[in-house]
């Protein structure tokens, strides 16, 4: 009864060359045989080699980048039949998750040599270079680019359905025209190429045909998407892909742990091998209904904010400042939470009344965190760190500034409530450090 | 033809006491006369006194807070007739804007004395205190709480429709029961009170009735909302208010420039006088259709993020690194933008190839900013500052760290591309500083 | 004591032509006389004409767009002296606010005719067209583009410091080279132009010089920014501008209520007249310290989310389901808030236990809203609307779906708790509708 | 060379009862033996049972919830020694990831029976109930609560360091006082309990001591955090935990796939077994330096937005509307992207000029997506869906509304450019459907 693990439809082995896989291809062609079948509505896992098919090592030399064989890229997993999909339909692809392989938690970014691949700035940066990235959960760091850590917006660089013969012919024609008109000293497009072809389960004759006719996977193309390299086409995104052949022949690969807009250095994303979890739905007649010429997508709900949340959150419980245990009293818990925050900010030189005024007026976040774990209600208070013009982040002892004073009623001796006075020595117990009546101490503090 | 200024329906004068206004009231009662009329679908401006009706001054003593007359609060503007609204309908109130008066750009936050108002922490902080806040555009600062600046989530503390006689009777009954059962040494609820009543355009007899029966405005109440003090019921929010009497009798006041969750010190928000712009729509039979017992709301689209955006944005134009003017070339502009970013980061000790790799892989934002202003296309590149574990914000000369080196192909002399080498002296011109072939200089730099 | 209204340094009159203003100019030139002076650290308001200087009317014909005189644009307010600013410094410009004039709450977007201005798609859309937008608070709507409403990311299209003579010479030289090399059938850049010049307080001779040498304001340029048209350089943004002449000679104009990336149709933003509030700070030696070639900026904290918040917020108060008034009991208030949400969702066919389970597990937001307004604590519960695959937004009677049932313990008669059973008739009073023991009714409902 | 898989320090077996694990405990006590050791600075994976230790099944009856043995919860993994941690230090815990087990992609939410556990609304909902949730990547759905799907803010319900003997004594004393004062007909706190104890690797005598003295894990407590159930203490969050005993004795468990504020039904989160990846750092003397009485935390960068991104993204490539292939021309790509959006919106009844005006002025997002994949540059344009007052999401054929018309110059026959006219039949090719000069067709369309 119940769910078991999600079915995997495209299994790859990192120990075998790409050529030995019958579910890997690196040309777009309608005749490449199906590598498996997926039901309309099904969610499956698809495993992917890195885009080079394992040509790049986790080491400190960029010679593998220098000498990479670009005719052998990109290694796509597929093509998969999606049952019921027909030309004119849309394949709605929802990306449920992307993960690196558990036992290979690393990826790479490369600068191709100007004479072998190049990139956006190759006239300025002609040499080959490389950075290896280590993955720890959602984060990437690199020994080659120190002092940087970020959460990946993990995504596939390439996904799409196979072109029909007619679409493929259009591609080959218009790109050939560009190539023949080229007067630059660099490649402007890559024609079909027999060398380095992967054609999945194709026999020799078909493989040769795929090599001779098949479109290269380098560019994205308007009719099907392909290598779009869109940095936030990530978890939760829904992509609407036109279907050109019966069964859709969907393929995916070129997984990126992260990428900047433009994928600037060409091998620019954090390239990795891994697993993508996808839900497939067929939208009948969708191309006409939506007037779709090129794919569209809806971004997912989990794009990182970049930077941790800019709030410090304080926790409070229904144990009051006298150490007394209350039963699930949310007001007591929230009062304690505010006292925690007052103690924290007092270290920077504010008197308590200034902070009390500030917490009332600044946009702090007050949450009911847990309301069912007897006897303690738990509340939290989020203090936005960026409302201060100095650094209040938790890091070592605080340096008190001259904070002046707020307005008081007549009779309150102002010196007594400023930082450095008795005020700053007070402490509101959480059961442990409380020693005397807080009310009395405050009365003393503020009335001098 | 065309729009003129938006109609103002409730005008107040900061130079007159609240008692002299016939459109101000401070009790909830169904018999207070209408202060104006609004069409279904209309957007109007409503002016509001601060909640105390001007009892608090912009000065450095909290004696006005100490001695505030709480029977005279809250000064609400209204009640307004919304044409066509009937009991059982919902009044859909969309808050189009809230602004302080242009010639009174300040507000206040107070801590009431424990014996006159009190607050959430009054047993710990019994004295009266005050902070004055100055408004500059969307931001507030206070001479009484230095080193703090934040954008207000500006909102009304109180809005609601008048209770019917039956609803009012329910309120008075259940609160009287609480008062009569009270054994605490503090007020637990406030009964109707003849002193300090504002009843708008009511005559003496009606004003006396309003004082005798009218519900105090301090608490919010489930049947109509009222003093909810919800910190993000701000610009763009839509509130669904039950209508209890013909014409709705809508009132609003207690404007807040900002508030923290809980409005902790009671006079805790940044209280101000100002203008609220509201659109009104009547939803017939809405109470039954939505099963509404208490107001609900949809937050607006402009809640501040707190903290400036955590990206540094670089600008680039279609003038290349040789000073040549290109015509609307977006790729040239984007290339320049990346070079600006490379120059910026190089100051911290990275070599250019490290940055080139980083910009490719980290989640930078690349935007087409302007594409129509001949001859320059303008693009921007947003660099997330929080991916670095040191501070890259723009502030004075950079301190270079030891950044190691990325992987290079064999033959590149690594020392040459590290910080401090020739590399760090290079500069990609914007027409002004370019002196020699960048490509040659880089070749020299990386090949030693 | 205390703040008064913020000083206005550049006052304009919408009733006078641009030519009669001595603080308006529309060329970049170092010799245009100062239009006023601003202290280092000061915040001022600057008034701006719309970019055409009033050539476009609030009407339903685009003939004014067809015949617009583009030599007379952009009308910039300035140049202002910022005290102490010297070449090599950075002028840090913080945008505190931007507002349309209160009595002119409208703006326009135009498509220029292909023969007079053109735009990004002018080969496809050659005719002149126009849309007028009305402003209500933070929102814009247009009678010319119905069914659209959005909050503006309000910003200046143009801001920058005057070029030095050397910088100006560089501009004129490189753009002249582009013009002389042009083989397209369209303007690729605009040279200096004597016609239509505004030069502020310049006398006739200087005005003629400004016309002969001054750079046109159409393009942004790398050395100073200028017409960047960056859509989110909005409220709270901080821009770092290089200073090229003593006193900085800062100018601003071309205010936009909103713009899309690219400002696609050239006159593409919502153009308006209005007031910008700016804080100025001089960063000595900033150009060298930051290695600044082109302006950079930090986005502000209030970028709209586009779309209202995708949560429905329920309000609850410390009056329990029996109509009893509790004193500031947050748990009672939060319990009521959950009951409000249960009632709301029950209308769609869920049984109460399903919703109870859902509220526990889905990422609802639970806030302490008001904790000081005796006797009622107010809490809110935010329900994310997008977790449902049908529409739960508040709009008329709900249509119940077949929601099946959750797992129950043995002995509970399942039919009784499904939608349409007794369950859906229950109501948890807010003092008004409660009639019998809820517990008993539920027991009855679930045990059959 | 390079990284291998991350070390796992706490391995559990779902096939064995909790009692057979020597690294599982369910009381807080300083004497429970270490279950492993972690270096200062190390990142490790820790496996966790679900909080009940496997008492709940993936089925459709809640009898297991009805009869759950609550003395046997919560099953925490640990305690772990963190090398070098001493009392007075802070243990900085960064949550790098949380995942369910790959082969057990489900969890549960329960409503406990009022007589065995209860919950926040148990007086109203006394029966036991249950929902099973299936996980597909980042999303959860339930056959027991249909039509709901959301991304989890995955997090641990419980984490903390062991109390010292003194802290433990304080807890037992203050909670005993509450229990002895209790006059309610429900448990207000749970005392130590010999039944159901897990004490890891303790021998029988020690286990008996742990049972007799050990604090129950139900409540969070101010001195160490514990069962805080904070819904967004998720991936990327950093928690600052006080250390009370040498080696810290850190434990973690009660993993939640998602939870609402309050965890309302007590067994309210989506409870699951799984793996948490944590980085540990010791901050010497941190408790005094930060004045820490209770844990604080910084939220992580990946909190879901709830709801997919509210933009539709269009893709465009450098193949123009005549089917011509351009080389990496970003302007051509961006122009195509805008045409894709115009075609999409035209279906709803707008004429092309209205959309052209709208795209210029509304806050659309224009991104450089891929700039290195020859020959096609790829750009994207994000259209915010919520600026329309009707539904533009991609779903079936569009229904055209009456959209009026924008302002045109004199001579343009307005009828021709409205929806339903020739205009709506035009199509801008992506190489496939283009048939004639678009310019001519538009001229024809607009001039009548």
Query: What CATH number has the domain bearing residue A192?
Result: 2.60.120.580
Distance (Å, whole) CA A335 – CA B263: 12
User: For a pLDDT cut of 90, what percent of chain D falls above it?
Assistant: 45
* D chain contacts of residue C409, beta-carbon cutoff 8 Å: 61-63, 65-66, 113, 127-129
Select the more confidently predicted residue: D185 or D137: D137
Q: CA of C121 to nearest chain A CA: how many angstroms apart?
A: 19
Chain A, residues 78-117, CB within 8 A of chain B, namely 109-111, 113
- Asked whether the beta carbons of C81 and C46 are under 8 A apart, the reply is no
Q: Is residue C3 part of a domain?
A: no
3-state secondary structure of C442: helix
Residues from chain D contacting residue B367 (CB–CB below 8 Å): 365-368
Query: Do the chains contact at D111 and C258, CB–CB below 8 Å?
Result: no
pLDDT confidence band for D278 (50 / 70 / 90): very high
Q: Choose between A187 and A445: higher pLDDT.
A: A187
**Separation of alpha carbons B256 and B266, rounded Å:** 12
For the segment B394-448, what is each residue's pLDDT rounded down to a tens digit?
Answer: 877 888 888 888 888 888 865 555 433 333 334 454 322 322 333 344 334 444 3
The answer to whether position C303 is within a domain reads no
Q: At what angle do helices C330-346 and A330-346 cross, to 10 degrees?
A: 120
Cα distance between residue A189 and residue D196, in whole Å: 70
DSSP B169-221: HHHHHHHHHHHHT--SSS-S-----STT--BTT--HHHHHHHHHHPEESSSEE
Domain count, chain C: 2
pLDDT band at C445 (very low <50, low <70, confident <90, very high): very low
Do D294 and D315 share a domain, yes or no?
no
Which pLDDT score is estimated for D304?
A: 63
Same domain membership, residue B52 and residue B23: yes
What's residue A435's pLDDT?
28
B-D contacts (CB, under 8 Å): 35
CB-nearest partner of C330 from A301, A330, A365: A330
Q: What is the pLDDT of residues D300-342, one digit of tens each?
A: 777 665 555 577 888 888 888 888 888 878 888 888 888 988 9
Chains in contact with B, where contact requires at least 3 CB pairs less than 8 Å apart: A, C, D
Asked if D18 and D53 touch (Cβ cutoff 8 Å), the reply is yes
Pick from A124, A145, A352: CB nearest B357: A145
Does residue D175 sit within a domain? Answer: yes
Chain D, nearest residue to C258 by Cα:
D361
Which pLDDT value is given to residue D46? Answer: 97
Q: What is the pLDDT along chain B (448 residues), one digit of tens a residue?
A: 345 689 999 999 999 999 999 999 999 999 999 999 999 999 999 999 999 999 999 999 999 999 999 999 999 999 999 999 999 999 999 999 999 999 899 999 988 998 998 888 888 888 888 889 999 999 989 888 888 888 888 999 999 999 999 999 999 998 999 899 888 888 888 999 999 999 999 999 999 999 999 999 998 888 998 998 888 888 988 899 999 999 999 999 999 998 888 777 888 889 999 999 999 999 999 998 888 888 888 877 776 655 555 778 888 888 888 888 888 788 888 888 889 889 889 989 988 888 988 887 777 778 887 777 778 888 888 887 877 888 888 877 888 888 888 888 888 865 555 433 333 334 454 322 322 333 344 334 444 3
Q: Is residue C1, in this structure, part of any structural domain at all?
A: no
Measured in angstroms, the CA of C409 and the nearest CA of chain B are apart by 30
C76 touches chain B (CB under 8 A): no
The mean pLDDT value of chain A amounts to 85
Are the C-beta atoms of C206 and C31 separated by less than 8 Å?
yes
Pairing label, strands C76-82, C296-298: unpaired
What would the pLDDT profile of A323-360 be if each residue is shown by its tens digit? 888 887 888 888 888 898 898 899 899 888 888 888 87
Say if residue D165's pLDDT is above 70: yes
- Residue B400 CB: number of other CB atoms within 10 A? 15
> How far are the Cα atoms of A237, A260, B338 from residue A153, in angstroms, in the given order?
11, 10, 20
pLDDT at residue C245 is higher than 50: yes
> A448 — contact with chain C (CB < 8 Å)?
no
Q: Give B-chain residues touching A68 at CB under 8 angstroms.
A: none
Chains contacting A (3+ CB pairs below 8 angstroms): B, C, D
Asked whether the CA dihedral B260, B261, B267, B270 is positive or negative, the reply is: positive
Under a CB-based contact definition with an 8 Å cutoff, are residues C256 and C276 in contact? Answer: no
Which pLDDT value is given to residue B309? 56
The parent domain of residue B332 ranges over 311-447
Same domain, C245 and C346: no
Task: Give a yes or no: residue C2 inside a domain.
Answer: no
Which DSSP string corresponds to B361-424?
HS--EEEEEESSSTT--EEEEEEEGGGBSS--SS-SSPPPP-----EE-TT--GGGGSTTSGGG
**Cβ distance B325 to C174 under 8 Å?**
yes
Per-residue pLDDT, B120: 84
* Chain D closest-CA separation from residue C409 CA (Å): 4
Say yes or no: B316 and B423 in one domain: yes
Residues in chain D: 448
Residues A100 and A217 in one domain: yes
How much is the pLDDT for D433? 30
As a whole number, mean pLDDT of residues C337-348 equals 89
pLDDT band at D421 (very low <50, low <70, confident <90, very high): very low
Does C266 have pLDDT greater than 90?
no
- A31 — pLDDT class (breaks 50, 70, 90): very high
Question: Which string of DSSP letters, residue by residue, matches A269-299?
Answer: EEE--EEEEEEEEEETTHHHHHT-SS-EEE-
Q: What is the pLDDT of residue C7?
A: 95
For residue A144, the chain D residues in CB contact (below 8 A) are none
A430-434, B353-357, C218-222, C269-273: lowest mean pLDDT where? A430-434
Express each pLDDT in D250-271 by its tens digit: 999 999 998 888 777 888 889 9
Q: Which of the pair, C419 or B305, is modelled with greater confidence?
A: B305
Check whether D424 has a pLDDT greater than 60: no
Determine contact, residues C334/D262, Cβ cutoff 8 Å.
yes
Window from A184-193, A379-388, C190-199, C414-423 with minimum mean pLDDT: C414-423
Among chain B residues, CA nearest to A445: B125
Same domain, B215 and B115: yes
List Cα–Cα distances, C123 to B374, B441, D142, D280, in angstroms: 16, 43, 53, 61
Is residue D80 domain-shared with residue D159, that is, in the same domain? Answer: yes
Chain B residues with CB-CB distance to C138 below 8 A: 96-97, 235-236, 302
CA B244 distance to own-chain centroid: 30
Q: How far apart are CA A93 and CA A159, in angstroms?
A: 9
Which of C258, C358, C407 to probe by mutation at the D interface, max D CB count within 10 Å? C407
pLDDT digits (tens, 9 = 90+) for D104-154: 999 999 889 989 988 888 888 888 888 899 999 999 898 888 888 888 889
Which residue of D222, D395, D399 is the best one to mutate when testing the A interface, meaning the one whose CB has the most A CBs within 10 A?
A: D222
Task: State the pLDDT at residue C199.
Answer: 96
Task: List all residues of chain C from 368 to 397 with a beta carbon under 8 Å from chain B.
Answer: 368-376, 378, 380, 382, 393-394, 396-397
Residue D1 within any structural domain of the chain: no
From residue B100, alpha-carbon distances to B104, C154, C195 in Å are: 7, 19, 43
ipTM of model: 0.82
Same domain for D148 and D283, yes or no, is yes
Altogether, the residues listed in chain A come to a count of 448
Mutation to test the C interface, candidates A303, A335, A368, most C Cβ within 10 Å: A368
**Are residues C318 and C284 part of one domain?**
no
Interface touch C325/B177, C-beta < 8 Å: yes
pLDDT value at residue D88: 95
Based on the domain organization, do C329 and C212 belong to the same domain? no
User: Nearest C-alpha of chain C: how many angstroms from D425?
Assistant: 15
Are B245 and B328 part of one and the same domain? no
- What pLDDT, on a 0 to 100 scale, did the predictor assign at position B422? 37
- Predicted confidence at residue A298, as pLDDT, reads 82
Interface test with C, best of A92, A318, A330 (most C CBs within 10 A): A330
Q: What is the DSSP string of A373-398?
A: STT--EEEEEEEGGGBSS--SS-SSP
The residue ranking higher by pLDDT, D413 or B426, is: D413
pLDDT at A200 over 90: yes
Chain C closest-CA separation from residue D345 CA (Å): 12
Which B residues 261-290 touch D at CB under 8 Å? none
Q: CB–CB of A79/A32 below 8 Å?
A: yes
Residues A266 and A342 in one domain: no
Last residue of one domain, picked from the residues A298, A319, A340? A298
Residues in chain D closer than 8 A to B329 (CB atoms): 331
The per-residue pLDDT for C246 is: 97
Q: Name the nearest CA neighbour of B189 among C48, C327, A358, D438.
A: C327
> Which residues is A242 bridged to in the sheet?
A90
Q: Half-sphere exposure (CA, 13 Å, Cβ side) for B102?
A: 9
Query: Which chain C positions have a beta carbon within 8 Å of A379's beta carbon?
Result: 368
Could D331 and B377 be called an inter-chain contact, meaning their C-beta atoms sit closer than 8 Å? Answer: yes
D23-41 pLDDT, tens digit each? 999 999 999 999 999 999 9
Cβ neighbours of D429 in C, within 8 Å: none
Which among B254, B276, B298 is the end of a domain? B298
Does residue C352 lie in a domain region? yes
Cβ of D403 within 8 Å of Cβ of C362? The answer is no
Q: What is the mean pLDDT of chain C?
A: 85
Helix (H, G, I), strand (E, B) or coil at B324: coil
- CB D157, CB D76: distance < 8 Å: no
Average pLDDT over residues C405-417: 73
The answer on pLDDT for C425 being more than 50 is: no
What is the Cα–Cα distance from B437 to B416, expressed in whole angstroms?
A: 17
Nearest residue in chain A measured CA to CA from C301: A386
What pLDDT is attached to residue B2?
A: 41
Q: Is residue C306 in a domain?
A: no
Please name the residues between 330 and 349 in chain B that touch chain A, using a CB distance below 8 Å: 334-335, 338-339
Mean pLDDT of D219-240: 88
Give the distance from residue D303's alpha carbon to the nearest chain C alpha carbon, in angstroms.
10
Residues of C in contact with D367 (CB under 8 A): 261
Would an 8 Å CB–CB cutoff place A310 in contact with chain C? no
Nearest to A99 by CA among A307, A300, A305, A272: A272
Chain D nearest C-alpha distance from A159 (Å): 13
When pLDDT is cut at 50, 70 and 90, the band that residue C71 belongs to is very high
Domain boundary pick from C275, C298, C321 = C298
Among A301, A368, A386, beta carbon nearest to C366: A368
A185 touching B, CB under 8 A?
no
**% residues pLDDT > 90 (chain A):** 44
**Per-residue three-class SS string for chain D:** CCCCCCCEEECCCCCCCHHHCCCEECCECCCCCCCCEECCCCEEEEEECCCCCCCCCCCCECHHHHCCCHHHCCCEEEEEEECCCCCCCEEEEEEEEEEECCCCCEEEEEECCCCCCCCCCCCCCCCCEEEEEEEECCEEEECCCCCECEECCCEEEEEEECCCHHHHHHHHHHHHHHHHCCCCCCCCCCCCCCCCCCECCCCHHHHHHHHHHCECCCCEECCCEEECCCCCCCCCCEEEEECCCCCCCEEEEEEECCCCCECCCEEEEEECCEEEEEEEEEECCHHHHHCCCCCEEECCCCCCCCCCCCEEEEEEECECCCCCECCCCHHHHHHHHHHHHHHHHHCCCCCHHHHHHHHHHCCCEEEEEECCCCCCCEEEEEEEHHHECCCCCCCCCCCCCCCCCCEECCCCCHHHHCCCCHHHHCCCCCCCCCCCCHHHHHHHHHHC
B67: Cβ–Cβ under 8 A, 6 or more apart, which residues? Answer: B116
Give residue-wise pLDDT tens across range C165-216. Answer: 999 999 999 899 989 988 888 888 899 999 999 999 999 999 999 999 999 9
- For the cut 60, the answer to whether the pLDDT of residue C106 exceeds it is yes
């Amino acid at each position: 009864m119940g769910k078991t693990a999600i079915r995997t439809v495209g299994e790859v082995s990192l120990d075998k060359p790409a050529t030995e896989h019958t579910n890997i291809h690196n040309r777009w062609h309608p005749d490449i045989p199906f590598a498996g079948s997926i039901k309309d509505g099904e969610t499956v896992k698809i495993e992917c080699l890195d885009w080079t098919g394992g040509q790049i090592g986790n080491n400190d030399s960029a010679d593998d980048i220098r000498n990479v064989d670009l005719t052998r890229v990109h290694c796509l997993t597929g093509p998969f039949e999606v049952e019921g999909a027909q030309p004119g339909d849309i394949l709605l692809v929802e990306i449920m998750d992307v993960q690196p392989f558990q036992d290979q938690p690393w990826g790479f970014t490369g600068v191709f040599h100007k004479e072998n691949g190049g990139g956006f700035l190759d006239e300025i940066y002609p040499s080959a270079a490389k950075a290896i990235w280590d993955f720890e959960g959602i984060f990437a760091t690199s020994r080659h680019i120190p002092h940087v850590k970020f959460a990946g917006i993990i995504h596939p660089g390439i996904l799409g359905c196979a072109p029909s013969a007619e679409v493929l012919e259009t591609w080959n024609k218009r790109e050939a025209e560009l190539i023949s008109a080229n007067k630059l000293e660099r490649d402007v497009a890559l024609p079909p190429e027999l060398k380095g072809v992967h054609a999945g389960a194709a026999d020799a004759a078909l493989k040769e045909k795929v090599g001779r006719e098949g479109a290269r996977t380098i560019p994205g193309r308007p009719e099907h998407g392909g290598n779009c390299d869109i940095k936030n086409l990530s978890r939760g995104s829904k992509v609407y892909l036109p279907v050109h052949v019966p069964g859709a022949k969907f393929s995916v690969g070129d997984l990126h742990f992260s990428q900047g807009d433009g994928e600037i250095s060409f091998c620019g994303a954090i390239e990795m091998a891994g697993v993508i979890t996808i839900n497939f739905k067929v939208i009948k007649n969708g191309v006409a209904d939506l007037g779709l010429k090129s794919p569209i997508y809806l971004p997912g709900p989990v794009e990182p904010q970049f930077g941790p949340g800019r709030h410090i959150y304080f926790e409070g419980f229904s144990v009051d400042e006298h150490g007394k245990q209350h039963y699930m009293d949310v007001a007591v818990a929230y009062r304690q939470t505010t006292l925690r925050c007052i103690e924290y900010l007092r270290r920077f030189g504010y008197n308590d009344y200034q902070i009390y005024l500030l917490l009332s007026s600044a946009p702090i976040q007050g949450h009911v965190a847990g309301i069912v774990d007897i006897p303690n209600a738990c509340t939290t208070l989020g203090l936005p760190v960026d409302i201060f013009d100095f650094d209040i982040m938790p890091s070592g002892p605080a340096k008190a500034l001259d904070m002046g004073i707020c307005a008081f009623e007549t009779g309150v001796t102002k010196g007594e409530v400023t930082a450095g006075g008795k005020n700053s020595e007070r402490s509101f117990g959480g059961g442990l450090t409380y020693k005397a009546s807080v009310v009395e101490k405050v009365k003393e503090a503020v009335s001098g």
